[in-house]
Amino acid sequence: MKLEFYDVPVLTGNSLEHWHSVYLAEVYTTLGGKHANELCKAGIGLRGYKLESTLDDTKAAISENDAIEDVCNDIHGFLITIKGQGKIG
């Protein structure tokens, strides 16, 4: 039996969302946008942090309003729910 190997490019929805966020943040800040935290600018895919968050001091958003101030939190419909209540904060 002869084994054959094939290179198959793999692209997931999660990777598309990641690179969309990275390039959106890059273009947004290049055009003068001011609502991207350091995580967003660095291409780190963690969402749910306030605009004031830095790489050394992350501040979790406690409401939807806190979260959407950072452009990277809002681009894929990120929601923060109130724990135990199933409601959007």
pLDDT, tens digit (0-9, with 9 covering 90-100), for 36-86: 999 999 988 788 899 999 999 999 988 888 888 998 887 766 666 666 655
The conformation of residue 81, written as its DSSP 8-state character, comes to E
Number of domains in the chain: 1
80 found inside a domain: yes
**First-last CA distance in the chain:** 59
The conformation of residue 25, written as its DSSP 8-state character, comes to H
42 found inside a domain: yes
Phi, psi of 82, deg, nearest 5: -80, 120
Q: Which amino acid is at 20?
A: H
68 found inside a domain: yes
Length of the chain measured in residues: 89
- Whether the model clears a pTM of 0.75, i.e. scores above it, the answer is no
| 16-31 per-position pLDDT tens digit | 888 888 899 999 999 9
5 found inside a domain: no
